[in-house]
């Protein structure tokens, strides 16, 4: 049996409850069995093999003296308490870390452990230099262990150069399905994608090209069953036993569709809890992860960073794992299909601020059902705050209810927020600024439309306006304002849900909404003096 056959041949199809065919995906044990034994160790590999994992994925790095070892991180710190990069430590010193069998193993030891076993070893690589060492280690191994390869494109190219017949899995980080042109460089057998990017269209396109589809990392039954019904060929998981049990139950009892659609209350309750957790995860990541890559999109002022992309990928994965059938629209990766529920995400609103070290950015995450907002959170990494709202249940920050009274408020001495249209003033900006100044009211441009609107819900500022509504950027903040008792207006007057996409809109404290609306509309329409 070849490595490719061992890796990608699916198990026999099973009929589901309505007669269609579901092929039970092969299971890939992520870093062995990390929920039972320490990841990327021989005991973890042994447990994964005993659990019947068809493929066992391990991460490989090289030591200072060119030994291929099993380790995910660049440094030894997280797992082994040594802050040094493994590439600067000789094998003899690496081997001393840990105790008993819980030590960092060499790659050749892992190959020997699986020699004669049915499991394939899937070697995951990030660095091209590591890949060369790993490929040469496998080439020099005299046993029969089947090996496949996955990881960064440069690393896979290095493997292919060393091992022309290697079974390579192509990393895929796009909602667009692969094309024949994408396969020319590596000629992979499989595309390997985060569950965040799993769509029916990608599975269909990959299979049409003769590719298998692998998805990672799935640890819960619901998304695993959903992925199986889409036709994926393998699932990478930290919990082989649980996912295998879920598939066994489905084969035994059938693969039923949902008995009923969950109610709006049920979905909103689960979604609010998930969004709250995600927001805190994003706060920690944004604060701790330095910006290392900056590129542009539409123009030199339209920036995107590795933080934008990494946050979006993380949030998509978290949502897809909890709600596999929901649609998703994100700032960086676009639209994914789904049912009547759709999530909208801006991973970093205020990217220019982030790049320039200005601590005023935010994440916006909003769930809608049939186009109506249900749940919204705005994460402020620099205050460490999560402002959250649920339709009909109010808005809170730090467990404090947000509620704007309707006491009349004067514009004099108050602050109104706005944002530029891209990097330029919006039509009427100057007139609006002058009219507010005439009323002794200050206009602020902070650099994050999400926070500009959301802070009004928190009583920080008397109003805010943006030149073009987008549910990606402003959906969560608009829901916050509604649930806090604020007013949301377009040029045609108040709106109850979202403003039309692309329309200018204003949010305001109810006690100042009428006067601020008059000033704003006069400036935007240019129909007369705003004074």
**DSSP string covering 470-513:** -HHHHHHHHHHHHHTT-EEEETTEE-SSPPPTT--EEEE-TTTH
Does the pLDDT value for residue 13 go beyond 60?
no
- The gap from C-alpha 210 to its chain's centroid, in whole angstroms, comes to 28
Mean pLDDT on 495-514? 98
Q: Are 37 and 56 in contact (CB under 8 A)?
A: no
CA distances from 102 to 65, 99, 119, 244, 267 (A): 22, 5, 21, 26, 42
CB-count burial class (<10 Å; 0-12, 13-18, 19+) for 306: middle
Does the pLDDT value for residue 18 go beyond 60?
no
pLDDT tens figures, 234-277 = 999 999 999 999 999 999 988 866 556 788 999 999 999 999 99
Both tokens of 384, joined, read 């460490």
Q: Are 474 and 468 in contact (CB under 8 A)?
A: no
Token pair 């009547």 in the structure block, residue? 340
Does the pLDDT value for residue 529 go beyond 50?
no
Query: What pLDDT does residue 8 have?
Result: 36
User: Between helices 107-114 and 128-139, what is the axis angle to 10°?
Assistant: 40
Query: What pLDDT does residue 255 have?
Result: 83
CATH of domain 3-62+117-253: 3.20.20.190
d(CA 512, CA 186): 62
pLDDT tier for residue 2 given thresholds of 50, 70 and 90: very low
d(CA 171, CA 184): 14
With a pLDDT cut of 90, the percent of the chain lying above it is: 92
pTM above 0.85, yes or no: yes
Query: What pLDDT does residue 259 have?
Result: 57
Per-domain residue ranges of the chain: 3-62+117-253, 264-402, 415-525
Beta strands in 153-279, from DSSP E residues, in sequence order: 167-172, 190-194, 212-216, 234-237
Does the pLDDT value for residue 64 go beyond 50?
yes
d(CA 117, CA 42): 14
CB-count burial class (<10 Å; 0-12, 13-18, 19+) for 72: middle
Mean pLDDT on 360-386? 97
Phi-psi region of 185 (alpha: psi -120 to 50; beta: other; left: phi over 0): alpha
10-24, 79-93, 331-345, 461-475, range with the lowest pLDDT: 10-24
Q: What is the C-alpha radius of gyration for the chain, rounded to an integer number of angstroms?
A: 27
CA distances from 245 to 221, 225, 301 (A): 9, 11, 51
pLDDT tier for residue 4 given thresholds of 50, 70 and 90: very low
Query: What pLDDT does residue 35 have?
Result: 96
Does the pLDDT value for residue 7 go beyond 50?
no
Q: Which of 424, 526, 527, 407 is nearest to 467 (CA)?
A: 424
pLDDT tens figures, 101-160 = 899 999 999 999 999 999 999 999 999 999 999 999 999 999 999 999 999 999 999 999
- DSSP secondary structure letters along 332-382: TTEEE--SSEEEEEEEEETHHHHHTT-S--EEEEEEEETTEEEEEEEEETT
Mean pLDDT on 205-231? 96
CATH 3.40.190.80 assigned to domain 415-525? The reply is yes
Query: What pLDDT does residue 20 have?
Result: 60
d(CA 99, CA 240): 26
Which helix (DSSP H) or strand (DSSP E) does residue 68 occupy? strand 68-70
- The gap from C-alpha 8 to its chain's centroid, in whole angstroms, comes to 26
- Tally Cβ neighbours within 10 Å of residue 355: 16
CB-count burial class (<10 Å; 0-12, 13-18, 19+) for 469: buried
Q: Which of 229, 249, 179, 174 is nearest to 208 (CA)?
A: 179
Both tokens of 68, joined, read 């291929």
Query: What pLDDT does residue 374 have?
Result: 98
d(CA 310, CA 301): 21
Q: Which of 194, 250, 252, 193 is nearest to 225 (CA)?
A: 250
pLDDT tens figures, 298-351 = 999 999 999 999 999 999 999 999 999 999 999 999 999 999 999 999 999 999
- DSSP secondary structure letters along 25-52: PEEEEETS-TTTS-TTSHHHHHHHHHTT
Does the pLDDT value for residue 365 go beyond 60?
yes
In this structure, is the dihedral angle defined by the CA atoms of residues 238, 240, 244 and 246, taken in order, positive or negative?
A: negative
Q: CATH class for domain 264-402? A: alpha beta
Rounded to the nearest 5°, which phi and psi values hold at 487? -115, 135
Token pair 């299971």 in the structure block, residue? 27
Does the pLDDT value for residue 530 go beyond 60?
no
d(CA 369, CA 373): 6
Q: Are 30 and 150 in contact (CB under 8 A)?
A: no
Length of the chain: 531
């Amino acid at each position: 049996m070849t490595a490719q056959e061992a890796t990608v041949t699916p198990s026999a199809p099973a009929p589901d409850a309505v007669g269609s065919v579901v092929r039970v995906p092969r299971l890939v044990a992520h870093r062995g069995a990390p929920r039972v034994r320490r990841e990327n160790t021989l005991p973890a590999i042994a447990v994964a093999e005993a659990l019947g994992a068809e493929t066992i994925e391990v991460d490989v790095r090289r030591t200072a003296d060119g030994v291929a070892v099993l380790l995910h991180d660049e440094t030894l710190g997280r797992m082994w308490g040594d802050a040094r990069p493994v590439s600067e430590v000789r094998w003899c010193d690496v081997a001393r870390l840990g105790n008993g069998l819980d030590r960092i193993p060499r790659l050749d030891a892992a190959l020997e452990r699986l020699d004669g076993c049915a499991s394939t070893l899937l070697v995951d690589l990030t660095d091209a230099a590591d890949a060369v060492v790993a490929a040469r280690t496998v080439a020099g191994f005299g046993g029969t262990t089947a090996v496949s390869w996955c990881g960064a494109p440069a690393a896979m190219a290095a493997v292919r150069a060393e091992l022309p017949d290697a079974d390579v899995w192509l990393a895929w980080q796009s909602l667009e399905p692969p094309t024949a042109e994408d396969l020319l460089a590596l000629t992979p057998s499989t595309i390997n994608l985060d569950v965040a990017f799993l769509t029916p269209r990608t599975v269909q396109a990959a299979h049409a090209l003769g590719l298998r589809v692998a998805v990672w990392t799935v640890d819960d039954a619901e998304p695993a069953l959903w992925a199986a019904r889409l036709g994926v060929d393998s699932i990478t998981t930290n919990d082989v036993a649980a996912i295998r049990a879920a598939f066994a139950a489905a084969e035994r009892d059938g693969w039923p569709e949902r008995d009923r659609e969950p109610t709006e209350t049920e979905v909103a309750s689960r979604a609010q809890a998930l969004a709250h957790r995600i927001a805190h995860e994003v706060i920690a990541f944004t604060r701790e992860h330095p910006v290392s890559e900056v590129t542009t999109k539409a123009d030199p002022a339209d920036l995107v960073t590795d933080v934008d992309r990494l946050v979006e990928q993380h949030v998509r994965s978290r949502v897809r794992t909890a709600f596999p059938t929901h649609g998703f629209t994100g700032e960086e990766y676009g639209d994914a299909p789904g049912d009547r529920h759709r999530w909208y995400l801006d991973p970093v609103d205020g990217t220019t601020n982030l790049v320039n070290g200005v601590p005023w950015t935010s994440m916006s995450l909003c769930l809608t059902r049939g186009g109506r907002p249900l749940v919204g959170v705005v994460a402020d990494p620099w205050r460490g705050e999560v402002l959250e709202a649920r339709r009909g249940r109010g808005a809170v920050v730090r467990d404090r209810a947000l509620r704007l009274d309707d006491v009349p408020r004067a514009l004099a001495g108050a602050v109104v927020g706005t944002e530029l249209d891209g990097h330029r003033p919006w039509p009427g900006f100057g007139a609006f600024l002058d009219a507010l100044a005439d009323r002794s009211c200050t206009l602020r441009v902070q650099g994050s439309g999400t926070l500009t609107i959301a802070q009004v819900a928190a009583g920080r500022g008397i109003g805010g306006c943006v030149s073009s509504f987008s549910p990606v950027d402003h959906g969560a903040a608009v829901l916050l304002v509604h649930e806090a008792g604020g007013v949301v207006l377009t040029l045609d007057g108040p709106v109850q849900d979202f403003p039309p996409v692309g329309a200018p809109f204003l949010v305001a404290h109810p006690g100042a909404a009428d006067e601020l609306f008059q000033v704003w509309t006069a400036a935007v329409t240019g129909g007369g003096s705003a004074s």
